[in-house]
Amino acid sequence: MKINDIIIECYTELYANSDPQADFQKLMQNAEINEAGEKIIDYMDYKINIDKMNEIIEKHSKKMPIYLRKSFKNTILLGCSPVWK
């Protein structure tokens, strides 16, 4: 499995457990594109319990080599993940 696939799986589960719940695939499909060609996900509209978020990130990080786990977590947290409550 590729790292990008794991990142998408993680975001999918995070949004499925957010308030309100969302389908991350649909958010990506319907996202606006900014001037830099990046998709804009309005992640601030979604909240998730910090413990649940950490649990989901930890679960998905175990799918990759140990040396990539910290950068994976940072990628998720600094990306378009829901904000924690």
Please give the pLDDT value at position 67. 96
What is the 8-class DSSP label of residue 34? Answer: -
Q: pLDDT band for 44, please (50, 70, 90 cuts).
A: very high
* Average of per-residue pLDDT across 57-76: 96
Q: pLDDT band for 36, please (50, 70, 90 cuts).
A: very high
pLDDT at 69 over 80: yes
Q: Give the total number of structural domains in the chain.
A: 1
Q: Where in the sequence is the domain holding 48, given as residue range(s)?
A: 3-84
Within its chain, how far is the Cα of 49 from the centroid?
Answer: 14
Can you read off the two tokens belonging to residue 26?
């649909």
